[in-house]
């Protein structure tokens, strides 16, 4: 039959046997199940009606009481759902919803920290697959909650960030979902992701085009409190970044955030989330761009208006919390005048005085910043009359107050000392600030923070600028003791050690302070600081040495107790510590004995007058050897010449008796007692000085003593040198044969040596007074010349030759150059001695008093170098 003529209806010849079909089919089964284990077995069924019925019964069971959920856990319901992959492949959406509801209920009653990492990863792996393929709103709600719980583990959060496809859908859900629970859990999850990211990672994550920042900002005014709080947490985390390259770079977004926050606050200033809103707003206003928008769009006035309207009904705690906004805006000086007019200063002072024992940290921070405005500063100072300053002192002194508040209180007092020194410092002294500072510093680390201690030290420095207050601080010995003890415990913090030394430099002018420091191991602290690895500490301690070499007790301590030794042994540090070398020179300049031993030279500024000068005939390669000789009760092998113009008789305390068994029998030990002295009397030196002054007077060469250090009489340098040289020659020419300068024959050195041997027997020691030496060559004469020149104010050096056998003197005699004002004697006479340069050698042996230009033939002959 053709296709066109096909019949529409054809009769059927075969029909199915209904009897046989009914016999083969499985009839419906209704069974009452009372065992949970049996019920759970039915979850392996492939029939949707069975699964729906089982899930329905399990959900009804779990909703009765929380203990039923625990029973399901005991029957390994969680493992069973994971084995079935949470029925991700079920076509019936109700089955998927039931499964997700049960697993979230189970995890809500599970401590996520107790789960094995492998199990958590397994849950998330299934949840990720489910989340990517699911479109049902309720399933996404459960999955969002599930992921939010698992994100407590940082590793899990990092996994979401690295899964680009999942992250894309996650952000799309936040941007489009209308389900409140989904929004809440998703925003919470975003917050957890942000917490595990670094600054660069967070910037990269939030700058993606699809990051739902606008939706998060919008949720600040959501009707559900939980969503509002979640959004505020995310915003606070993001607003911490105040850089230009942030998610809030566009101005419109910045204003939108501020507008939303202000709107949320003004709608309910006493709401349960008001504190969180204020916290986020204060964080936002740390940015200058945000603050500018805040003032330009009158959001500041709006906040102030609402605050004043409800100030009577707001609690003190909430009122002070709101003020944290203004503490942040006060950072920018251009808005201080507007804030002061709005009575922000009064609000901050009110919070300061009403909170007991202390207000929040930002209250004092705000006052500190407002003090940059003159009117605000005057208002703060006026509050002293009602105890504002007393309150600040009690805050930083009290260990019960949190450390940040104590730090701000101390820093605020420092700011007040700068802006209103007279009123603040005077009242602090009335409040017995030395005792308060002593008690505070005594609390020590770790009760005190480094920043708090630094602020306390600055207070001491500021008060120490006034001589009267410095005296009061110095007389309070416990304060200095606590600072010295704090120094010994602070070497782990270089900045703290630096500031302690700087503080001590301020008050060390007081005698009591110096005594206490020396009693409290300041020398040990200085040694430790000099050996520190920190250049900051080494710079601080050498600066302290420079400041304290003005005092003789410190000079003695530095020399006798090893400070000078450490400085000399570690001179390599001078390459990185610029004050290392000056510290050495500062000590040596006050002790000509040690300087000559170490440097083998005394310059124009090294004055020997007023102190003992010990010069050994032997040249020491290690100054510590000579130092040990001076310390120990022994006599050196070589003569040591002692110079002192003020000791006509030896002190009884300096005399040392020689034991009888040390006295030779031939000297008759039984008839008398031998004594020797390292600081012997010298009655002849004053006579030499008197003779010199008489000669100078006779020739009209005496200068005005008041001008000796301010001007140099270059015209009479040669004449005065001649006069001194003649006095020296008259004093030391006994039994000496004077030779010609051109002679190659040595002078009578053996005569001098024999003479010194005789003096050694007279004084029972080799410490010989210079004035008692009657026979002397260049060595002895140069010492006397330097000593007399220093007494009358003539610039003069004392130099030791390379081999150490000869001493010689140099004087400055600048040569005038025509038409050069810098070489004019009228200009040079007012030059500092430190800038003078030696030009001539003084002849004390041959042509007594003659001056030889340096490097001349006569000078080289005199030094026996030619």
Per residue in 687-724, pLDDT (tens digit) is: 999 999 999 888 888 765 444 455 566 778 889 999 99
Over pLDDT 90: what percentage of the chain?
A: 46
Decide if 285 is inside a domain.
no
Cβ 282 vs Cβ 265: under 8 Å: no
Residue 551 CB neighbours (<10 A): 15
Poorest-confidence range of 149-158, 293-302, 346-355, 551-560? Answer: 149-158
Please determine, for residue 17, whether its predicted confidence score (pLDDT) is greater than 70.
Answer: no
pLDDT at residue number 602: 93
Largest CA distance in the chain: 171
d(CA 397, CA 400) in angstroms, rounded, equals 9
Decide if 194 is inside a domain.
no
Cβ 183 vs Cβ 148: under 8 Å: no
* Structural domain count of the chain: 1
- Sheet containing strand 810-811, edge to edge, reads 810-811, 840-842, 851-853
d(CA 60, CA 51) in angstroms, rounded, equals 14
Please determine, for residue 331, whether its predicted confidence score (pLDDT) is greater than 90.
Answer: yes
- Residue 680: closest CA among 720, 652, 719: 652
Please determine, for residue 866, whether its predicted confidence score (pLDDT) is greater than 70.
Answer: no
Over pLDDT 70: what percentage of the chain?
A: 89
pLDDT tens-digit readout, 579-588: 999 999 999 9
DSSP character at residue 334: G
pLDDT tens-digit readout, 817-833: 445 454 555 656 656 67
Decide if 736 is inside a domain.
yes
pLDDT band at residue 38 under the 50/70/90 scheme = confident
Cβ 104 vs Cβ 123: under 8 Å: no
Long-range CB contact pairs, 530-536, < 8 A, 24+: 530/563, 530/566, 530/567, 530/570, 531/566, 531/570, 532/491, 532/494, 532/497, 534/494, 534/497, 535/576, 535/577, 536/494, 536/495, 536/497, 536/498
pLDDT tens-digit readout, 613-631: 999 988 988 888 888 888 8
pLDDT at residue number 2: 45
Across 166-189, average pLDDT: 87
Average pLDDT, the chain: 85
Where b means 16+ CB within 10 Å and e means fewer, 237-247 reads bbbebeeeebb
pLDDT at residue number 425: 95
Decide if 707 is inside a domain.
yes
pLDDT tens-digit readout, 497-509: 999 999 999 999 9
pLDDT tens-digit readout, 199-229: 888 888 888 888 899 999 999 999 999 999 9
Decide if 718 is inside a domain.
yes
Decide if 743 is inside a domain.
yes
Decide if 462 is inside a domain.
no
pLDDT band at residue 168 under the 50/70/90 scheme = confident
Please determine, for residue 117, whether its predicted confidence score (pLDDT) is greater than 80.
Answer: no
pLDDT at residue number 95: 82
pLDDT at residue number 415: 96
Cβ 321 vs Cβ 271: under 8 Å: no
Which residues have CB under 8 Å from 31's CB, separation 6+?
none
d(CA 568, CA 559) in angstroms, rounded, equals 11
In terms of residue numbers, what domain contains 833?
645-659+683-863
Decide if 544 is inside a domain.
no
Poorest-confidence range of 128-142, 242-256, 382-396? Answer: 128-142
CA distances from 142 to 58, 103, 146, 396 (A): 17, 9, 6, 51
């Amino acid at each position: 039959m053709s296709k066109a003529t096909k019949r529409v209806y054809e009769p059927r010849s075969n029909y199915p046997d209904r009897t046989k079909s009914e016999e083969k089919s499985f009839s419906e089964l209704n069974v009452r199940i009372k065992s949970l284990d049996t019920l759970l077995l039915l979850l392996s069924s492939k029939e949707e009606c069975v699964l729906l019925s089982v899930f329905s019964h399990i959900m009804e069971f779990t909703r009765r009481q929380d203990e039923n959920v625990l029973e399901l856990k005991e029957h390994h319901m969680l493992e069973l759902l994971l084995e079935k992959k949470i029925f991700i492949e079920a076509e019936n959406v109700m089955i998927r919803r039931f499964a997700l509801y049960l697993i979230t209920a189970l995890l809500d009653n599970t401590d996520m920290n107790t789960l094995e990492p492998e199990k958590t990863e397994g849950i998330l792996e299934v949840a990720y697959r489910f989340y990517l393929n699911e479109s049902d709103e309720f399933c996404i709600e459960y999955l969002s909650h599930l992921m939010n719980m698992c994100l407590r583990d940082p590793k899990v959060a990092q996994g979401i960030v690295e899964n680009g496809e999942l992250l894309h859908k996650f952000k799309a859900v936040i941007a489009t979902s209308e389900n409140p629970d989904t929004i809440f859990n998703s925003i919470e999850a975003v917050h957890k992701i942000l917490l595990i990211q670094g600054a660069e990672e967070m910037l990269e994550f939030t700058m993606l085009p699809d990051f739902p920042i606008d939706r998060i900002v919008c949720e600040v005014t959501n009707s559900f409190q939980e969503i509002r709080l979640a959004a505020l947490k995310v915003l606070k985390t993001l607003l911490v970044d105040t850089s230009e390259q942030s998610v809030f770079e566009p101005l419109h977004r910045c204003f939108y955030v501020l507008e939303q926050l202000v709107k949320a606050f003004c709608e309910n200033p006493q709401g349960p989330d008001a504190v969180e809103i204020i916290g986020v707003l204060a964080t936002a206003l740390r940015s200058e761009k945000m603050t500018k928008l805040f003032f330009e769009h009158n959001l500041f006035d709006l906040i102030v208006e609402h605050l004043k309207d409800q100030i009577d009904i707001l609690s003190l705690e909430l009122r002070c919390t709101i003020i944290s906004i203004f503490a942040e805006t006060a950072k920018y000086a251009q808005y201080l005048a507007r804030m002061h007019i709005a009575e922000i200063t009064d609000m901050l002072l009110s919070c300061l005085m009403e909170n007991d024992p202390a207000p929040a940290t930002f209250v004092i921070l705000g006052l500190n910043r407002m003090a940059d405005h003159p009117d605000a500063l005057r208002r703060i100072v006026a509050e002293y009359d009602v105890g504002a300053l007393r309150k600040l002192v009690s805050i930083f002194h009290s260990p019960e107050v949190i450390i940040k508040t104590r730090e701000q209180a101390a820093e605020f007092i420092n700011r007040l000392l700068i802006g209103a020194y007279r009123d603040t410092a005077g009242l602090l002294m009335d409040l017995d600030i030395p005792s308060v500072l002593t008690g505070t510093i005594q609390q020590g680390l770790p009760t005190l923070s480094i920043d708090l201690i630094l602020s306390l030290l600055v207070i001491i420095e500021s008060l120490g600028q006034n001589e009267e207050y410095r005296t009061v601080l110095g007389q309070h010995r416990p304060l200095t003791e606590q600072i010295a003890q704090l120094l010994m415990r602070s070497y782990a913090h270089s900045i703290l050690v630096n500031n302690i030394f700087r503080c001590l430099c301020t008050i060390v002018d007081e005698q009591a302070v110096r005594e206490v420091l020396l009693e409290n191991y300041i020398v040990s602290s200085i040694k430790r600081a000099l050996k520190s690895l920190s250049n900051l500490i080494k710079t601080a301690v050498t600066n302290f040495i420079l400041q304290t070499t003005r005092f003789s007790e410190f000079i003695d301590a530095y020399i006798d107790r090893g400070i000078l030794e450490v400085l000399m042994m570690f001179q390599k540090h001078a390459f990185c510590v610029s004050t290392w070398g000056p510290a050495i020179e500062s000590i040596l300049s006050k002790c000509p004995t040690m300087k000559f031993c170490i440097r083998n030279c005394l310059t124009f500024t090294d004055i020997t007058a007023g102190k003992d000068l010990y010069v050994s005939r032997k040249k020491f390669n290690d100054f510590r050897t000579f130092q040990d000789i001076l310390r120990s009760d022994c006599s050196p092998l070589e003569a040591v010449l002692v110079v002192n113009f003020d000791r006509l008789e030896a002190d009884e305390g300096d005399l040392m008796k020689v034991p009888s068994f040390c006295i030779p029998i031939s000297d008759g030990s039984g008839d008398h007692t031998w004594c020797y002295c390292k600081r012997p009397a010298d009655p002849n030196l004053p006579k030499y000085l008197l003779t010199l002054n008489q000669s100078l007077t006779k020739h009209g060469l005496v200068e005005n003593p008041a001008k000796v250090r301010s001007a140099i009489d270059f015209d009479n340098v040669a004449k005065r040198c001649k006069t001194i040289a003649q006095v020296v020659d008259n004093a030391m020419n006994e039994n000496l044969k004077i030779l010609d300068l051109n002679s190659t024959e040595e002078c009578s050195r053996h005569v001098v040596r024999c003479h010194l041997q005789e003096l050694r027997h007279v004084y029972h020691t080799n410490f010989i007074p210079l004035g008692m030496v009657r026979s002397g060559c260049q060595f002895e004469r140069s010492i006397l010349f330097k000593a007399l020149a220093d007494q009358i104010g003539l610039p003069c050096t004392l130099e030791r030759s390379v081999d150490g056998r000869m001493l010689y003197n140099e004087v400055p005699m600048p040569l005038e150059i025509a038409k050069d004002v810098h070489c004019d004697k009228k200009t040079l006479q007012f030059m500092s001695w430190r800038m003078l340069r030696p030009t001539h050698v003084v002849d004390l042996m041959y042509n007594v008093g003659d001056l030889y230009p340096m490097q001349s033939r006569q000078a080289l002959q005199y030094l026996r170098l030619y």
